[in-house]
Amino acid sequence: MKLKLIVTIPIILVTVIVSYLTLPWLFIFIFGKLEPNPPRPENTYGEFPFQLVYVIDGETKEIEDTLICEFKGFGWDEGNGKIIKWDARLAKGTVDYHNGIELFGGVIAGQGSTFITIDIGSPQYYLGYKEYKNYSPGRVSISSPPASGAINEDELWNKYNIKIIEMKFSQPLIGNGISGDESSTYRDMDTAQLSVKGVAVSPQKMNYPSNTKKIVLILRNATDKQLLFEQSFCIQRKLMLNGKMYTMK
């Protein structure tokens, strides 16, 4: 009898501990799966030509391509619940596309790794799934240790020798027209919603060691609106090696 109790008690304790740690996540997963899907997009595929001409360090560069936007079904995210899965890619693929086109990427003395990107639009915008009051493609943003966020034309030219000469974007389709405001009932992984002028994100420190477990980000809001941030995100480490930039998640 004593031997049976000695064997049974540890098993019960382990079961209780495992249940305590896993049941909350299991319930979240189950209820998340039972949550209704967002409205299905009326437009599920579209091709949107664009043209971009800019000067960097005296050299004129022209990009003429087509952004292909496609609805890829529904998914689930622990931070957002049921979401729509979108796919966006360039037809020619002569430049890299990661929610925008990189105009500059490299290390600047006294500033560290710096990346300047121009937003060329998103599937939610072009397929007409959402309707935005204060958004259109063409916003230029910077990501660097001192600060991250929108950058104006004067600073772009005077500090980084980059000037946008011409940009032409396709008009969005007429679709669901769901409000793109923060108060909208349906939220998904929407890059356009995060393109808000006057908002900057910067790390608390300039440099972090490789074994860092926690990074504190400072959000500065210079707008007159309350910001709701419910997006999942990842932090990427970019390394310059032999003149080439490598990205590691």
pLDDT per residue as tens digits for the range 8-30: 666 666 666 766 566 555 555 55
Residue 67 has pLDDT above 70, yes or no: yes
Q: Band of the pLDDT at 130, cuts 50, 70, 90?
A: confident
- Cα 212 to Cα 229: distance, rounded to the nearest angstrom: 24
As a 3-state breakdown, the chain gives helix, strand, coil percent values, each rounded to 5, of: 20, 40, 40
Lowest model confidence (mean pLDDT) among 79-93, 115-129, 232-246: 232-246
Domain match, 85 and 99 both: yes
Structural domain range at position 7: 1-34
The residue that leads in pLDDT, 16 or 114, is 114
Domain match, 6 and 83 both: no
- Cα 62 to Cα 69: distance, rounded to the nearest angstrom: 22
Kindly state the average pLDDT of the residues 59-71: 95
**pLDDT one-digit tens code per residue, 171-209:** 999 988 887 554 454 545 454 444 445 566 556 555 556
Residues in the chain: 249
Domain match, 6 and 103 both: no
Domain match, 48 and 168 both: yes
- Chain centre to alpha carbon of residue 92: 22
Domain match, 189 and 71 both: yes
Domain match, 68 and 89 both: yes
Domain match, 157 and 53 both: yes
Q: Report CA-CA distances (Å) from 150 to 105, 153, 200, 204, 205.
A: 16, 10, 7, 19, 20
**Three-state secondary structure call for residue 34:** helix
Domain match, 116 and 225 both: yes
Q: Going by C-beta distance under 8 Å and a sequence separation of 6 or more, which residues neighbour residue 117?
A: 98, 99, 100, 101, 102, 103, 140, 141, 142, 143
pTM assigned to the model: 0.64
Domain match, 20 and 142 both: no
Give the mean pLDDT of the chain: 75
Domain match, 24 and 47 both: no
Lowest model confidence (mean pLDDT) among 105-109, 160-164, 178-182: 178-182
**Domain tally for the chain?**
2
**Of 105, 134, 130, nearest in space to 198 by CA:** 134
Whether the Cβ atoms of residue 52 and residue 101 lie closer than 8 Å to each other? yes
Structure-block tokens of residue 196: 């808000």
Domain match, 23 and 67 both: no
- Distance between start and end Cα atoms, the chain: 54
Q: Band of the pLDDT at 146, cuts 50, 70, 90?
A: confident
Domain match, 138 and 165 both: yes
